[in-house]
């Protein structure tokens, strides 16, 4: 007759780690050690000095004003927290980056079932030893935080699709809110992931929608990046203008005299360049130091009032409205809309999309996204204009900076970096 285990023995058995869990724990300890070893010994790099100094200003109560030149506010607040908890030093300046780099190693554990246990463990191992990931885990820049938030968002998408548990939707929304509050790569991430998910959804719902969606996307890109004119060079990185340099709207002069750019007309319509073609405009629109929102909207009007941007917004909104009507309202011969037909056929991808409307999930997710965005860009409500300038200033400033090409690297620059530093990734990938 078998003995009944005591409650204490059953409790120990329940929490007995598996070999897989021990492997992840070992990787995390190893990753933490190599990221913390001599972390404060190396002098701060130029970028690091700026990030450490502005974080110190937050820590000492001197306030914070978002400036896209230095990317998003998340870094400065998390580093200020490290200063508060452990004192200010080169080591603590880099500590949060090292902790995020360590946490990144453990993230594949969350999708081991979907990815495969062996593949997830190999991914964690590679994240632990990767020269590039190790370097940016010991360097106080925004990259490591964004990588962690991006991977967490992808994991949340996979886990939500697999389980339909609302918590994964909210975790993903929080990760996105922190991502946009950290670095402008958020916009590229959303363009890539959003486009892929949208294309898959259209393919499952109504394949002709792929053609319409593709046409809308191509037209919007052409309107924004191809059809506007090109500025004639002024001094330095500024565009040439008819009456001297660009004048930034301010409280004393909210509507400066018209001073058009000198330009080569764009194709077809002969349009002028976008406002972001002049780096002086980018420096003006990146934030609003005095919290004067009416003045800031004047700045935004100089960009969004361009006919190419207005038409791009009309095309985008019109395309979305047309797809909504064709998929959600227009009935076929069977009396069903494409949406109803896909639901009746129990299409998994469509069912996941439909689940967003349950229990107000999408609204809770939106609120979860907005909380970190609002708190960080307004410096915890100290600068209310950050609610607007946080997104628009970041996007418009870096649209203009793409033309500056600070490093003047060749197009194959990052390919060479991959070959030198990540040969295993190229071989295994």
Does residue 140 carry a pLDDT above 90?
A: yes
- End-to-end Cα separation, the chain, in angstroms: 54
Per-residue model confidence as pLDDT tens digits over 6-64: 666 555 556 788 999 999 999 999 999 999 999 999 999 999 999 999 999 999 999 88
> From the DSSP assignment, how many helices (H) and strands (E) are in the chain?
21, 2
The mean per-residue pLDDT over the stretch 324-333 comes to 93
What's the pTM value of the predicted model, to 2 decimals?
Answer: 0.92
Does residue 297 carry a pLDDT above 90?
A: yes
Q: Are 384 and 374 in contact (CB under 8 A)?
A: no
Per-residue model confidence as pLDDT tens digits over 183-196: 999 999 999 999 99
Token pair in block for residue 8 = 């204490």
Does residue 314 carry a pLDDT above 60?
A: yes
Predicted pLDDT at 427: 80
Does residue 266 carry a pLDDT above 80?
A: yes
Q: Of 126, 51, 127, which Cα lies nearest the Cα of 92?
A: 51
Residue 250, φ and ψ in degrees, nearest 5: -145, 175
Would you give the distance in Å from CA 105 to the centre of its chain?
20
Q: With bands split at pLDDT 50, 70 and 90, how would you rate the model's confidence at 420?
A: confident
The mean per-residue pLDDT over the stretch 227-236 comes to 84
How many C-beta neighbours within 10 Å does residue 146 have? 25
Predicted pLDDT at 6: 64
Q: Are 52 and 93 in contact (CB under 8 A)?
A: yes
Helices assigned H by DSSP within 60-184 = 74-86, 90-106, 112-115, 117-129, 131-136, 143-163, 166-180
Predicted pLDDT at 424: 82
How many C-beta neighbours within 10 Å does residue 218 have? 11
The percent of the chain in helix, strand and coil, each rounded to the nearest 5, is 65, 0, 30
Strand partners, 241: 261
Does residue 220 carry a pLDDT above 70?
A: yes
Does residue 429 carry a pLDDT above 80?
A: no
Q: Are 278 and 261 in contact (CB under 8 A)?
A: yes
Strand partners, 261: 241
The CA-atom distances, in angstroms, between 151 and each of 107, 148, 168, 189, 321 are 8, 5, 13, 11, 31
Does residue 303 carry a pLDDT above 60?
A: yes
The mean per-residue pLDDT over the stretch 206-230 comes to 95
Strand partners, 239: 233
Angle between the 90-106 and 74-86 helix axes, to the nearest 10 degrees? 110
The mean per-residue pLDDT over the stretch 414-419 comes to 86
Does residue 3 carry a pLDDT above 80?
A: no
Helices assigned H by DSSP within 251-291 = 279-285
Q: Of 104, 24, 350, 76, which Cα lies nearest the Cα of 206?
A: 350
The mean per-residue pLDDT over the stretch 361-386 comes to 95
What percent of the chain has pLDDT above 70?
94
The mean per-residue pLDDT over the stretch 245-262 comes to 90
């Amino acid at each position: 007759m078998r003995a009944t285990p005591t409650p204490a023995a059953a409790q120990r058995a329940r929490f007995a780690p598996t070999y897989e869990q021990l492997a992840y724990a070992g990787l995390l300890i190893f990753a933490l050690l190599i990221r913390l070893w001599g972390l404060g010994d190396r002098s701060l790099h130029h970028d690091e000095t700026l990030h450490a100094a502005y974080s110190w200003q937050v820590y000492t109560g001197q306030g914070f004003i978002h400036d896209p030149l230095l990317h998003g506010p998340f870094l400065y607040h998390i580093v200020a927290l490290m200063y508060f908890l452990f004192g200010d030093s080169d080591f603590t300046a880099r500590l949060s980056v090292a902790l995020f780099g360590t946490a990144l190693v453990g993230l594949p554990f969350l999708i081991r079932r979907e990815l495969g246990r062996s593949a997830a463990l190999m991914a964690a191992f590679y994240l632990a030893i990767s020269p590039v990931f190790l370097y940016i885990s010991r360097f106080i820049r925004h990259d490591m935080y964004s990588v962690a938030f991006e991977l967490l968002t992808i994991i949340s998408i996979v886990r939500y699709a697999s389980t339909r548990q609302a918590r994964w939707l909210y975790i993903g929304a929080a990760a996105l809110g922190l991502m946009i509050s950290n670095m402008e790569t958020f916009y590229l991430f959303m363009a890539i992931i959003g486009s892929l998910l949208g294309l898959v959804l259209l393919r499952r719902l109504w394949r002709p929608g792929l053609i319409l969606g593709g046409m809308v996307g191509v037209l919007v890109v052409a309107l924004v990046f191809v059809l506007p004119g090109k500025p004639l060079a002024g001094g330095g990185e500024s565009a040439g203008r008819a009456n001297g340099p660009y004048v930034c709207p301010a409280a004393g002069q909210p509507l400066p005299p018209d001073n058009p750019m000198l330009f080569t007309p764009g194709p077809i319509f002969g349009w002028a360049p976008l406002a972001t073609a002049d780096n002086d405009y980018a420096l003006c629109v990146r934030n609003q130091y005095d919290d004067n929102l009416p003045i800031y909207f004047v700045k935004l009007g100089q960009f969004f009032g361009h006919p190419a941007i207005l038409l791009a917004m009309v095309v985008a909104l019109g395309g979305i409205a047309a797809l909504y009507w064709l998929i959600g309202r227009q009935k076929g011969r069977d009396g069903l809309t494409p949406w109803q037909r896909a639901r009746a056929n129990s299409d998994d991808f469509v069912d996941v999309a439909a689940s967003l409307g349950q229990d107000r999930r999408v609204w809770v997710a939106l609120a979860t996204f907005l909380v970190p965005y609002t708190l960080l860009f307004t410096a915890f409500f100290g600068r209310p204009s950050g609610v607007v300038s946080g997104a628009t200033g970041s996007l418009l400033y870096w649209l203009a900076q793409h033309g500056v090409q600070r490093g003047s690297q060749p197009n194959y620059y990052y390919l060479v970096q991959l070959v030198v530093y990540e040969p295993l990734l190229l071989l295994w990938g």
